[in-house]
Amino acid sequence: MVDVSWSLRCVDCGAAWGGLDVRYRCDCGGTLDVIHDLEALKGLPLMQTFDERRASRDRLDRSGVWRFRELVLPLDQAFVTTRPEGNTGLYDSPRVASFAGLASFPLKHEGENPTGSFKDRGMTVGISIARRLGMTRVACASTGNTSASMAAYAAMAGMEAFVFIPDGAVAAGKLSQALAYGARTLMIAGDFDVAMDRVQEVCRLEGIYLLNSINPYRIEGQKAIAFELLQDLGWQVPDWIVLPGGNLGNSSAIAKGLGELRQMGLIPRMPRLAVIQAEGASPLYEAVRDGCDLVPFPKASTIATAIRIGNPVSWRKCLRGLVASGGVVERVTDAEILDAKAVVDASGIGAEPASCATVAGARKLVKAGVIGHDETVCGILTGHVLKDADTAAGYHMGTLSGIDAQRANPPVRVSADIDALRAALSR
């Protein structure tokens, strides 16, 4: 007897599965959605409740995920592991807006989550459902942020964590977190797509709980980015939300959350999603451009290692969200990402490279006339600037191969002599 109010449903064939089944795919191979009883919630003053919880000191109310628990996962709170997540800043920098060609361009900085990326929003739900299911061992493949987040939350929940990462392709700020939080870290001879393939097989053979965003509960937590963004905006719906795309879990999540708000009549329309990929890792861009199924990139490549993914697991869910929201996919070069990052960083906000695909992509879409100058546009910054300090330093010090750093701010080597120091103050 299932004692929960939600169930699972296949995205491809619609087959229904139990809310406490340990499965990540349907028998047909399709990925799964968590289905909530939205009818039972209709008529409740949810937005008022969510707003009231912002002033509460309750452990769950203080989380920018569990504050929205009716729409995320109505789980018995005894199982919830929370830091708390969310409550991230929304920054509207005139410098960033003007770079993108917009009058205003508020950026929600998900790098302000407990482990420095948006992944914590999905992970609090993933680890909490793992506890509900009685799991003691969890695993993920990762380009770095998921592993950092899972390692931390698993440690807090007293679970054993196994991290599968591509050897040599994870930024030091993320690898060091996985190690420091105590995860058993397997550096695999292969890229993220190989690690993703292998972790699914090992989890199946070993009965370890898989916490990649193929796990539908991770998606439920990540929906809260959209909920909190709208709450920040006084529940006014922007015309666009722009965000980077890698494995495409986050864009799927945000689209699902917004779709549910729309379905319940809590918002009058969905914002359009603009998903931005790095050129060397842009299989979704090509699928949409060519109007066909996704063809994986066998050798994904970009300096934004977080989104160096050639075979995104959640592409069908993401595509569904793009269609529902009238969204678009764009792609940007590494040089465009790094120049946008230089602007985001110099505005005092700062974010890791993949995050700044958001700003580079918005600029490109505004230039192309897809996004209008006068439209309301919000962006998501997904990770903290210190996640990938090497790329930031390399950009400014001119040591990144193949990158002509247009906005470099190189350090000045100078003797400790006062006159020399004074002379060095002017650029």
Binding site for ligand F0G (CB under 6 A): 117, 119, 142-146, 213, 244-251, 306-307, 352, 354-355, 382-383
Which amino acid, 275? V
Query: What minimum distance in Å lies between the beta carbon of 29 and ligand F0G?
Result: 20
Smaller CB separation from ligand F0G, 334 or 352: 352
**Cα 42 from Cα 263, distance rounded (Å):** 10
Q: What is the SS3 string spanning 86-101?
A: CCCCEECCHHHHHHHC
In this structure, is the dihedral angle defined by the CA atoms of residues 344, 345, 346 and 348, taken in order, positive or negative? positive
Smaller CB separation from ligand F0G, 272 or 341: 341
Tokens 């203080």 belong to residue: 62
Query: What minimum distance in Å lies between the beta carbon of 314 and ligand F0G?
Result: 7
Smaller CB separation from ligand F0G, 85 or 352: 352
Find the helix or strand (DSSP H, E) in which 249 lies: helix 249-263
**Cα 324 from Cα 245, distance rounded (Å):** 17
Query: What minimum distance in Å lies between the beta carbon of 307 and ligand F0G?
Result: 5
Query: What minimum distance in Å lies between the beta carbon of 251 and ligand F0G?
Result: 6
Smaller CB separation from ligand F0G, 159 or 307: 307
**Cα 105 from Cα 37, distance rounded (Å):** 35
Query: What minimum distance in Å lies between the beta carbon of 344 and ligand F0G?
Result: 13
Smaller CB separation from ligand F0G, 307 or 371: 307
Find the helix or strand (DSSP H, E) in which 16 lies: strand 16-18
Least Cα distance to 410 among 424, 425, 395 occurs for 395
Smaller CB separation from ligand F0G, 161 or 266: 161
Smaller CB separation from ligand F0G, 106 or 245: 245
Query: What minimum distance in Å lies between the beta carbon of 297 and ligand F0G?
Result: 14
Smaller CB separation from ligand F0G, 235 or 320: 320
Smaller CB separation from ligand F0G, 129 or 211: 211
Smaller CB separation from ligand F0G, 132 or 308: 308
**Cα 414 from Cα 423, distance rounded (Å):** 10
| Cβ pair 331, 276 in contact under 8 A | yes
Smaller CB separation from ligand F0G, 93 or 146: 146
Query: What minimum distance in Å lies between the beta carbon of 369 and ligand F0G?
Result: 26
**Cα 197 from Cα 11, distance rounded (Å):** 20
Kindly report the backbone phi and psi dihedral angles of residue 36, in degrees, each rounded to the nearest multiple of 5, phi listed first: -100, 160
**Cα 176 from Cα 185, distance rounded (Å):** 10
Query: What minimum distance in Å lies between the beta carbon of 358 and ligand F0G?
Result: 9
| Cβ pair 6, 73 in contact under 8 A | yes
**Cα 147 from Cα 104, distance rounded (Å):** 34
How many Cα neighbours within 13 Å face the side chain of 171?
Answer: 29
Query: What minimum distance in Å lies between the beta carbon of 28 and ligand F0G?
Result: 23
140 has which bridge partners?
163
| Cβ pair 114, 152 in contact under 8 A | yes
Least Cα distance to 147 among 89, 211, 206 occurs for 211
Beta strands 107-109 and 90-91, pairing class: antiparallel
Query: What minimum distance in Å lies between the beta carbon of 148 and ligand F0G?
Result: 8
Which amino acid, 318? C
Which amino acid, 329? V
How far CA 143 is from CA of 57, 91, 165, 167, 172, in Å, comes to 35, 26, 6, 10, 11
Query: What minimum distance in Å lies between the beta carbon of 384 and ligand F0G?
Result: 9
